Amino acid sequence: MRARESDEKTSAGLCPVCGGRTEKIRNLTVYGGTVTRGYRCKGCGYWTGLKRRVPTLYIFSPKS
Ligand SMILES: [Zn+2]
């Protein structure tokens, strides 16, 4: 049993939004390899990069 679950990052874990499973987002490179861009939730579509960033490209709840 791990004592510090709150310390775990979102990497390969559960979605912080809906608790669903997350999968790696991979991109093919021109060198024939793959690079992991981040992780995406299969349930709600939430995704996060390996680095800490704000997904400004996505609008979850538009302010109107
Ligand atoms: Zn989710």
Residue 60's pLDDT is 62
Residue 5 Cα to ligand 1 midpoint, Å, equals 18
Residue 10's pLDDT is 44
- Judged against a pLDDT cut of 70, whether residue 6 lies above it is answered with no
Mind listing the pLDDT tens digit for each residue in 8-64? 554 457 888 999 999 988 888 888 898 888 889 999 998 887 765 555 655 566 666
Residue 58's pLDDT is 57
Query: How far is it, in rounded angstroms, from Cα 2 to Cα 64?
Result: 43
Query: How far is it, in rounded angstroms, from Cα 25 to Cα 55?
Result: 14
Token output for 34: 């793959």
Residue 30 Cα to ligand 1 midpoint, Å, equals 30
Residue 9's pLDDT is 52
Residue 11's pLDDT is 47
Residue 38 Cα to ligand 1 midpoint, Å, equals 14
